[in-house]
Each structure stands twice: as C-alpha cells, then as structure tokens.
C-alpha cells in the first residue's frame, strides 16, 4: 500500500514580481515500509518537497494523498492534527528543548495528543530504548553528544508510532562516523519495526542507506535509483 501518493505537485513562491517554481510536476509514490532518500544540489527543492510531504507547507497545485487522506482539502488545524498523528520529524539541528531531559523531550508529541502521564512515560521509555538510550533518559540535551541528541530526536519522532518518519539532513550536523551510526539506526528501525522513512540528504554515502534514491534537479524529479 502507498503511504504517500503525489500527482502533479507544484510549489511556487512569489517574491514581488518574481515567481520561482520550487517544485514542478512531482509525481511520487512511496510504499508503506520503504526507506527512501531524496537527493539533489542545494536549492533543488529537497526541503520544499519534504515540507509538503510533512504537511508543513501546502502545494500550489496537484494532488497529495497521505495514508488515504487527501491533504489539499484540510484546514490548518486538521493539518496539524495530521502531523501529530501520522508524521514524525527529525531535523538537522535536533530541535530538542534545552530545559527538558531526554524523556520529557520524547513525551512532547504525546502531550499534544492529550495522553495521560503514565502512559506517556512508558511509551517514551520504550522509544528511547529502541534508539539505544535507555541509560540516558534523565540527561539534558547539553549533557548528551550530538549523535545522542539526534537519537533522542528520533525517539521523539517515532514515539507516537507515525505512518512516516521525515528527516531533513539528519546527519548534517554530525561527523561522518556518527552520521553512519544514525543511518544504521534508521536501517534497524526500518527493518525491525517496518517504519517508513523519507530522508533528505546531499551526501551520496548517506543517501545509499535508502532503498530508493529520488534525485531532484531544479524542482523536478530527474531520476529515481532503485537498489
């Protein structure tokens, strides 16, 4: 089953008189349980595409169906609901809250769901265990290495059992060996827990961890490499 289906997705930005087509006629299907990489040069539209996939931004034209739901028709409130229920996000700069320990950071998406404290804590502990940080739950972000902080962010992304985990340059702030351990974690989450992962990267060695590589040039899909 396809968790993501896009037909003719376009995204244009207007700055004054100038129109910029950041995405042009994107047709894309991503199956449940796939691990996909989006690659391309700077400015080719990778983040724009991921933001549309992640319902953080709306397309200008085309049709996007996420897990059976047609996204165009939804209100802003419904979009944030969809993000909370169906999507997990991982960012280059981790985006953890500095004053909260690892466990509390991972609980955040569940707080937005209105889940009770005890159940929240249990799910957050399980997510931290999955990313290998069982023994770091009480640590603040500043008391963790970059790779560990990204693991906490990944635990936060997966804690609500989303349909898709979206990651924009998840290894961009890490040295290459730490970056590889994050990719091994993604591979494990994909194989063991069948998680669907869509990541953006501009590094070929990182993209290689995906089962397919979608190559963007100038807002268009130039080529899809299947392994």
Based on the shown chain and the rule CB under 5 A, indicate whether residue 92 belongs to the binding site for Mg ion: no
Which of 8, 27, 29, 43 is the binder for ligand ATP (CB under 6 A)?
43
Among 17, 42, 75, 177, binds ligand ATP (CB under 6 A): 42
- Does residue 62 touch ligand ATP according to CB under 6 A? no
CB 83 within 8 A of CB 54: yes
* Coil/strand/helix, residue 214: strand
Considering the rule CB under 6 A, would residue 54 count as an interface residue with ligand ATP?
no
Query: Quick one: CA torsion of 109, 212, 146, 83, rounded to 10 degrees?
Result: -10
Torsion of CA 55, 198, 226, 4, to 10 degrees: -30
| CB of 119 vs Mg ion, minimal distance in Å | 35
The yes or no reply on residue 48 touching ligand ATP (CB under 6 A) is: yes
Judged by CB under 6 A, the residue of 47, 150, 190, 196 near ligand ATP is: 47
Q: How far is CA 74 from the centre of its chain?
A: 20
CA 197, CA 187: separation in Å to the nearest integer?
9
Alpha-helix runs per DSSP H in the chain: 46-53, 76-86, 102-112, 117-130, 146-158, 176-193, 204-207
Does residue 171 interact with Mg ion by CB under 5 A?
Answer: no
| Residue 44 touches Mg ion, criterion: CB under 5 A | no
Residues numbered 190 to 219 that lie near ligand ATP (CB under 6 A) are 202
Q: Which of 24, 35, 40, 195 binds ligand ATP (CB under 6 A)?
A: 40
Q: Which residues, numbered 19-38, are part of the site for ligand ATP (CB under 6 A)?
A: 20, 22
* Cβ atoms of 95 and 106 closer than 8 Å: no
Q: Give me the least distance between CB of 41 and ligand ATP, in Å please.
A: 7
Binding residues for Mg ion (CB under 5 A): 47
Binding residues for ligand ATP (CB under 6 A): 13, 15, 20, 22, 40, 42-48, 202
């Amino acid at each position: 089953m396809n968790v993501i289906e896009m037909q003719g997705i376009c995204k244009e930005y207007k700055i004054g008189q100038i129109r910029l087509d950041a995405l042009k006629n994107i047709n894309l299907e991503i199956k449940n349980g796939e691990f996909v990489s989006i690659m391309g040069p700077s400015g080719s539209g990778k983040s724009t595409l991921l933001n549309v996939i992640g319902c953080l931004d709306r397309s200008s034209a085309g049709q996007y169906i996420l897990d059976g739901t047609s996204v165009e028709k939804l209100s802003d409130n419904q979009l944030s609901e969809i993000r909370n229920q169906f999507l997990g996000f991982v960012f280059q700069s981790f985006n953890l809250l500095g004053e909260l320990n690892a466990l509390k950071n991972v609980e955040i998406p569940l707080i937005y769901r209105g889940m009770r404290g005890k159940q929240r804590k249990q799910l957050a502990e399980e997510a931290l265990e999955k990313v290998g940080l069982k023994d770091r739950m009480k640590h603040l972000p500043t008391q963790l290495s970059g790779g560990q902080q990204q693991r906490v962010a990944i635990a936060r992304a997966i804690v609500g059992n989303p349909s898709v985990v979206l990651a924009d340059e998840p290894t961009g702030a890490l040295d290459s060996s730490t970056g590889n351990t994050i990719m091994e974690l993604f591979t494990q989450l994909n194989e063991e827990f069948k998680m669907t992962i869509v990541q953006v990267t501009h590094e070929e060695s990182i993209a290689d961890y995906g089962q397919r590589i979608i190559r963007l040039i100038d807002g268009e899909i130039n080529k899809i490499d299947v392994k």
